[in-house]
Structure formats: structure tokens, C-alpha cells
Amino acid sequence: MEKAPIVRLREVTKRFDDVVAVDALSLDIFQGEFLTLLGPSGCGKTTVLRLIAGFESLDEGEIVMNGAPLNGTPPNRRNVNTVFQSYALFPHMTIYDNIAFGLKMKQLGKSLISEQVDEAVSIVKLQGLENRKPHQLSGGQQQRVAMARAIVNKPQVLLLDEPLSALDYRLRQEMEIELKRIHRKLGITFVFVTHDQEEAISMSDRIAVMNQGRIEQIGTPTRIYEEPENMFVAKFVGEINIFEGRIIEVYNGSATVDIHGRPFKVLNRKNFSTGQHVKVLLRPEDLAVTRDEDSRPVSPSLGGVIDEVIYKGKTVDLIVSLDAGETIFVTQFFNEDQEDVVFRQGQRVHVDWPYGWEVVL
Amino acid sequence: MKKIFQSAYLAFIFLFLYIPIIVLVVYSFNTSRFSTNWQGFTLDWYRVLFTDGPLMEAFANSLIIALSSSTIATVLGTLGAFAFYRYRFLGRKIMYSFVYVLMMSPDIVMGISLLMFFITIGLSVGATTLLLAHVTFCLPFVMVTVYARISGFDRHIIDVAKDLGASELQMFRHVMLPMLMPAIIAGWLLSFTLSLDDVIVSFFTTGPSFEILPLKIYSMVRLGIKPEINALSAVMFLVSLLTVTIAHFFFAKENK
Ligand SMILES: Nc1ncnc2c1ncn2[C@@H]1O[C@H](COP(=O)(O)OP(=O)(O)OP(=O)(O)O)[C@@H](O)[C@H]1O
Ligand SMILES: [Mg+2]
């Protein structure tokens, strides 16, 4: 992906009175990528989109598009289109006229408009509904009109502000797939905003995790999930277990951490030194649970008792009360070879994990 | 039983509201000039009415003032409501509440203050001052009607239009105006009827050089009710009825 960025945000700051909505944020957006801004409510995602679209003016920094600064360029002269969460379709126009709006503003010829509208209509699969009014469509269909109305203008960058949040669960999953398909088909850059981490992980090429107007981490979904760089990202994206520990020995590239009095060998990516207090993070599916009755622990592990067993079909979720007092969450895959290994509430177990699967912060 | 009672109740209210008007319309066809008892059918009073030069002139004046003041008030009021919605400026909220104050203030106060204002700036009362006065008291009604509709819009609708490449003017012309049209028409109709039958404000703000119908009727009635006034009232009632019907059909179409 060594392309030049199509949009660059450099140290962009935006304040509303005394609220800093976007705080010296820098971000490179590359041609053709599906970039997701993920973060809790109020962290400034919408404001970033509105700054790129030109609805808000920035207080500091600059936004560069195709190498030229955008400062002061009004929204109607930016090669960017937005899909709003509320869709905001024009209620007095037919679907056709809604989609044709941008082209009419550019004063294209009638036949050219009709050709391009037809194309957009077929991309979002709305054939046959062109003569209806927006209020005669379902939520999912209105969503598609909002998409078509934006993409018909062939923007370089399409901004989507939580476009799926008004849809119910089933429709939402369907639209996630549709959005990906449209993205692939058009090859244009998508900047997608959501506070739903599953949506972000399943759709994006890259995710920027935002918090309080800043980007905490940016990277591929796998990187964000497997190697969170800080506690905020670790906690915000997916379930995670956090153990307090202390480095007791350091080797070349690895280290030994004392967790509840047990020495665990971990990767030392961050050059921790002896005596340092650290947090060891483990995803539920990275932990291994063994029943004491099957085998006694040979390597360091944490003992505990099963508190709760939740069967999920392919997997089983366990809540384990550790002897040290904390409660952890573990997901185990069913092992076809050991169908008689059944977890039950109250069983004594020990928990460990393969070397290197942990994240130490 | 309950149904019958409900219908009877409704009928009673409507009778209460409309009997005076029905009586008036009926008497406009009565042959008798002075008495209130029925003496036979005639269209004479309508003939008298339409050949009464000064009365017809006052009627024409009224129509001209009503048409022009409601049109001016509608244009200004629509732009004003849009400005209140679109632009944030200092004192916006306070200014908007003054619109309500203007709407609620008694006609007599408005009439006197306008008169004093016109005298102060040296305008002599006549057609111009009357037009200005009518625009003034119609304006808040248009603004409130249009603003009510505009504030019900999706708050991103303007952003969307601009995002799709519309200039400010194109956005207003292709998005705002059509979406506001029902409110604009309602505001216009409201202004038209307000202007057409205003007595008090007009009393202070026009002079003998420019007579309008409500004032003319008012001065005629002081000398006793003549049958041609009944006829005139019947005609005016018909005009209002038509206006309401037109409005109704327009909105019925809009809601479909
Ligand atoms: N027009 C505005 N006036 C004042 N404050 C604003 C305005 N828009 C946003 N803010 C503030 O800026 C901060 C960031 O808001 P923003 O809408 O960008 O958050 P968000 O990440 O999109 O949140 P959500 O997920 O709830 O949509 C919030 O504290 C918000 O209150
Ligand atoms: Mg938002």
C-alpha cells in the first residue's frame, strides 16, 4: 500500500466553545481504502468527517486533498460526498430526482444524467423504485437511495457517518456486505464512522480508534485486535482479560512476568526492565482452560473454579473465578476428539496460554 | 344513544356558529328594505351593490392592499424564517421572540404606534402607509408559519444539498422553496384574509384619500344596516369560503 495519501489531516484541531472536539489530529487517508473511524460517543468522529466534507471550519492545522490545501473550500466544491446517518433524503422529490440532484446541480445533459442515475440505481439495487417518494420506501431502501445519491457524483472520497445505525440487526448485516461490495466495485475511498467495533472489524481495511479527539491507534483490524497499543484500544475493541504483573527477569526478546505469584514467560516487545509493573492482556479465545481432573499443571498456570458455562454452538464461554480473586472470561472451541470433556460449574481448572499470544503493556 | 347525542351536540355548535351568517345571506335576498320580516325574493340589492361606485372602489382598494401586502409579507417572512433557521447570530433567540410579541400585540396598540411612526417620519396617511401597516402585521404570521415547518426538517437537509454541489441559491431554490411551499401558501392565505378584514390598524393608518371596504362598511353601518351591506357581506363570505376550499384542496393533494 505505498500510495500517496489522497487526503491528509495535519495537526487538525476543532473547538466548539470550550469543548475540544478534535485535538491536533493527524491522519493519512489512502486512495481506494476502506478506513473506519471507531470510537465511543462524543470522541469527535462526526466532527472529523464534517471537517473533511467542509461543513465545519478548522481552528488549527490543515487538510490537504490531492496535494492542495482545502482551507476555505466550501462543501459544494469538494470532490467528496457524505452519507448521513439520518439519510436526509429530499422528501418532495422522487427517488430518481433525489439521485439525480448532484448531477442536475452540475447542469449535465438530460440523457447523461439518466444514464448515470440508472447506473447508480443498479449498483445499489433499487431498480423499479425510481418513481416513488422517499416516505414510500423501507429504511433499508432509503439507505440505498442515500448511497446512490452520493456515489452518482463519483466522488474521490465517500464519507459515511454511521450509515447503518438506524437499521435493525439483520438488515444491518446485509447492508455491511452490500457496502463492501459497493466499495470493491467503485474502487473509491470510503471513510466510515461507527462506534460498533464488530462492524469496524468486519468491514475495514484500516481502523483508526479514536478517543477524546485523538487517534489512539491506527492499523489493520487484525493489528488493532491482536496487538492493541494501549489500554484504551485493548478495552474498546473486543473482550479482554487484564492481569496485573511485575517483570522479574528479562532475556533477549522475552521476559518473565510474575502474575499472582506464578512466573509466566512472555514476549518482551517493549523493552521492559526488571521490577517494572505491567499489565498482561489476553483475549478470551487465547486462553486455554484445562480441567484439573484431566491433567495436573506442568507449566505455570492460574488455578480457579468454573463459575458459569455458556454454550454457543461451536464454542463455549466460561467464566472462571481465579483463586487470586479475579474473574476472567474464556472462550473455548469444542475439541471433536475429546467429546467427553464437558465443562461444568464448580469444576476446578487451571488456565494458561501459548507463549507469545499475550500483549504486555 | 351516545352517537345521537354526539351528533346533536356537533350540530348545535355548527348552528350556533353559522346561523348568523345564514340569516345574513337570506336577508340579502329579501325584498323589504327596512323590516326584518321576509317579503319576497329579490336580487336587487346585489344590483345596487355592484353599481355603487364608491363601494366598489373601496372593494377594489381592499383587494389591491390585501393582495400586495400578503405577497410582500410572504416574501419577506419566508426569507426571514429561513435566515433565523440557517444563520446563527447574536440575539437570534430574542429577536425571534419579538416576532411573537408583534403577533400578540393588540391591534389598537399597533395601529396607534404605526400612526405615530408615520407622522414622525413625515409620511401622510394613505395607500402607502396602509400597505406598510398591513405588511407589518402580516409578517409575523408568515414567519411563524414558515419557521414551524422549516424546523421540522431533517437538520442535515441543507448540508446534503451543499454536499451534492448546490450553491446557496440552488439549495434555496431546489430544496428549501419546494419543501416550504405548503407553509408559504398557508402564510399567504392567512395574510390575505387578515389584511382583507382588518379594521382597527387600517383605521389609524389610512386617510380619506384611500378608502377600503371594512372601514367603508363600518361607517355605513353606523347609519343603520342597509340590505346592500347584507349582499356585500354575503359576497365576502363567499370569497372566504372559496379561499378555504382552495387551501383545503391544495393541502389534501400535498398530504397524499
Ligand atoms: N455543533 C456543535 N456545537 C457544540 N459542540 C459540538 C458540536 N458538534 C459536536 N460538538 C461536541 O464535540 C464533541 C465531538 O462530537 P462528535 O459529534 O464529533 O462526536 P461523535 O464521535 O460523532 O459522537 P457520536 O458517536 O455520538 O456521534 C462532543 O463533545 C460534542 O458535544
Ligand atoms: Mg457522530
For residues A150 and B45, the model is more confident at A150
Nearest CA in chain B to A88: B157
Mean pLDDT, rounded, for A153-162:
95
Say yes or no: A77 and A101 in one domain: yes
CATH classification at residue B242: 1.10.3720.10
SS3 label, residue A5 = strand
Residue whose C-alpha is closest to residue B151's, from B161, B163, B162, B143: B143
Evaluate if residue B256 carries a pLDDT over 60. no
Assess whether B91 and B118 both reside in one domain: yes
Q: Based on the domain organization, do B19 and B120 belong to the same domain? A: no
Q: How far is the CA of A165 from the centre of ligand 2 (A)?
A: 11
Local confidence band at B209 (pLDDT 50, 70, 90 cut-offs)? confident
My answer on whether A197 and A247 are in the same domain is: no
In a domain, B47, yes or no: no
Are residue B28 and residue B93 in the same domain, yes or no?
Answer: no
Q: Give which of A227, A32, A105, A75 is closest to B162, Cα–Cα.
A: A75
Do residues A276 and A244 make contact, with C-beta atoms less than 8 angstroms apart? Answer: no
A358 with A280: CB under 8 angstroms?
yes
Distance (Å, whole) CA A2 – CA A32: 12
Same domain, yes or no: B128 and B240? yes
Give SS3 for A260: coil
CA B65 – CA A174 distance, rounded (Å): 60
A51 lines ligand 1 (CB under 6 A): no
Structural domain that includes position A126: 5-236
> Are B189 and B89 part of one and the same domain?
yes
pLDDT at position A319: 94
The per-residue pLDDT for B254 is 62
What is the mean predicted confidence (pLDDT) over A19-34? 95
Using 50, 70 and 90 to split pLDDT, how confident is the model at A281?
very high
Residue with cell 428549501: B176
- Asked if residue A287 and residue A179 are part of one domain, the reply reads no
pLDDT at A337: 65
Q: Residue B27's domain spans which residues?
A: 1-42
Same domain, B150 and B96: yes
B91 part of a folded domain: yes
Among the bound ligands, the one closest to the CA of A161: 2
DSSP chain B: -HHHHHHHHHHHHHHHHHHHHHHHHHHTTBS-SS-SS---B--HHHHHHHH-HHHHHHHHHHHHHHHHHHHHHHHHHHHHHHHHHH---TTHHHHHHHHHHHHHS-HHHHHHHHHHHHHHTTPPSSHHHHHHHHHHHHHHHHHHHHHHHHTTS-TTHHHHHHHTT--HHHHIIIIIHHHHHHHHHHHHHHHHHHHHT--HHHHHH--TTS--HHHHHHHHHTT---HHHHHHHHHHHHHHHHHHHHHHHHHHHHH-
B20 and B99 belong to one structural domain: no
Which residues fall within 8 angstroms of residue B95, CB to CB, at 6 or more apart?
B84
Q: Do A88 and B179 make contact, defined as CB atoms within 8 angstroms? A: no
Of A300-309, B7-16, B38-47, give the lowest mean pLDDT range: B38-47
Instruction: List the grid coordinates of A287.
Output: 486462553
**DSSP 3-state of A105:** helix
Q: Are residues A98 and A210 in the same domain?
A: yes
| Span B231-237, average pLDDT | 85
Distance, in Å, from the CA atom of A11 to the CA atom of B220, rounded to the nearest integer, reads 78
Chain A neighbors of B157, CB-CB under 8 A: 88, 90
Mean pLDDT of A74-87: 92
- Do B190 and B140 sit in the same domain of this protein? yes
Do A183 and A259 reside in the same domain of the chain?
Answer: no
Q: Are residues B132 and B152 in the same domain?
A: yes
Higher pLDDT among residues A333 and B144, named by residue: B144
Task: Give all strands of the β-sheet with A327-333 in edge-to-edge order.
Answer: A288-291, A348-352, A302-311, A315-322, A327-333
Domain C-terminal end among A213, A236, A259: A236
- Residue A101 is nearest to which of B155, B164, B167, comparing CB atoms? B164
Which residue blocks in A65-168 are alpha helix, DSSP H? 95-105, 110-123, 139-151
Q: What is the DSSP letter of A338?
A: G
Write down the residue that cell numbers 353601518 correspond to. B221
Out of A25-29, A92-96, A203-207, A324-328, least confident range: A324-328
Identify whether B238 is part of a domain.
yes
- B154/A153 touch (CB, cutoff 8 Å), yes or no: no
Mean pLDDT score across all residues of chain B = 88
Parallel, antiparallel or unpaired: strands A315-322 and A206-211 = unpaired
What does the pLDDT read at residue A339? 64
B4 and B58 assigned to the same domain: no
Q: How far is CA A346 from CA A216, A305, A326, A349, in A?
A: 40, 6, 16, 9
What's the pLDDT at B31?
Answer: 81
Considering the domain architecture, whether residues A269 and A194 belong to the same structural domain is answered as no
Taking the alpha carbons at both ends of chain A, their separation in whole angstroms is 29
Looking at the structure, do residues A348 and A253 belong to the same domain, yes or no?
yes
- Where residue A20 falls among pLDDT bands split at 50, 70, 90? very high
Looking at A26-30, A268-272, B198-202, which range is the least confident one? A268-272
**Can you tell me the distance from the alpha carbon of A250 to that of A270, in angstroms, rounded to the nearest whole number?**
11
Report yes or no on B78 lying in a domain: yes
Cα-based distances in Å from B147 to A179, A256, A259, B104, B151? 37, 69, 65, 17, 6
| pLDDT, position B253 | 66
CA separation for the pair A293, A298 (Å, rounded)? 13
Name which of A29-33, A65-69, A164-168, A206-210 the model is least confident about: A164-168
Phi, psi for residue B121 in degrees, rounded to 5: -85, 5
**What is the 3-class SS of A187-232, one letter each residue?**
CCEEEEEECCHHHHHHHCCEEEEEECCEEEEEECHHHHHHCCCCHH
- Mean pLDDT (chain A) is 92
Of ligand 1's listed atoms, the one at least distance from the Cα of A46 is 22
In a domain, B239, yes or no: yes
Is the confidence at residue B165, as pLDDT, over 90? yes
CA distance A158 to A220: 20
Residues A231 and A257 in one domain: no
A213 lines ligand 1 (CB under 6 A): no
Task: Determine the average pLDDT of the residues in A166-175.
Answer: 87
Q: Residues A107, A162: one domain? A: yes
When pLDDT is cut at 50, 70 and 90, the band that residue A2 belongs to is: low
For residue B27, which amino acid is it?
Y
Q: Would you tell me how many other CB atoms lie within 10 Å of the CB of residue B47?
A: 12
CB A158 within 8 Å of CB A185: no
The per-residue pLDDT for A133 is: 95
Q: What is the mean pLDDT of residues B75-103?
A: 91
CA nearest neighbour of A14 among A51, A64, A63: A51
**Same domain, yes or no: B150 and B112:** yes
- Hey, are the CB atoms on A76 and B174 less than 8 Å from each other? no
Residue A84 beta carbon below 6 angstroms from any ligand 1 atom: no
ipTM of the complex: 0.83
Residue B33, pLDDT > 80, answer no
Counting the structural domains of chain B, the total is 2
Name the domain boundary from A209, A236, A263. Answer: A236
CATH number at residue A136: 3.40.50.300
Q: Is residue B48 part of a domain?
A: no
In this predicted structure, what is the pLDDT of residue A12? 95
pLDDT of B179 strictly over 90: yes
Q: Give the mean model confidence (pLDDT) for residues B48-57.
A: 83
Using the Cβ of A177 and the Cβ atoms of chain B, whether some distance falls under 8 Å is answered with no
Same domain, B154 and B194: yes
* Atom 11, ligand 1: residue with shortest CA distance: A21
Mean pLDDT of B73-84: 95
**Ion ligand 2 contact residues with beta carbon within 5 A:** A 46
Residue B71, judged by CB atoms within 10 A of its CB (0-12, 13-18, 19+), counts as: middle
| A29 and A157, same domain (yes or no) | yes
**pLDDT at residue A167, as a whole number:** 86
**CA B150, CA A320: separation in Å to the nearest integer?**
57
Q: Write down the pTM of the prediction.
A: 0.83
State how many domains chain A has.
Answer: 2
What is the pLDDT averaged over residues A212-228?
95
Does the pLDDT value for residue B144 go beyond 80? Answer: yes
> Is the pLDDT higher at A314 or at B62?
B62
Select from B154, B155, B159, B163 the residue whose CB has the most chain A CBs within 10 Å, as the one to mutate to test that interface.
B163
pLDDT value of position B233: 84
Residues A251 and A229 grouped into a single domain: no
Domain boundary among the residues A202, A236, A270 is at A236
Nearest chain A residue to B175, by CA: A90
The answer to whether A129 and A141 have CB atoms below 8 angstroms apart is yes
Are A231 and A282 within one domain?
no
For range B50-79, the mean pLDDT: 91
Q: What's the CA gap between A95 and A308, in Å, rounded?
A: 52
> What is the separation, in whole angstroms, between the first and last Cα of chain B?
35
CB contact under 8 A, A101 and B166: yes
Rounded Cα distance between B123 and B105, Å, is 23
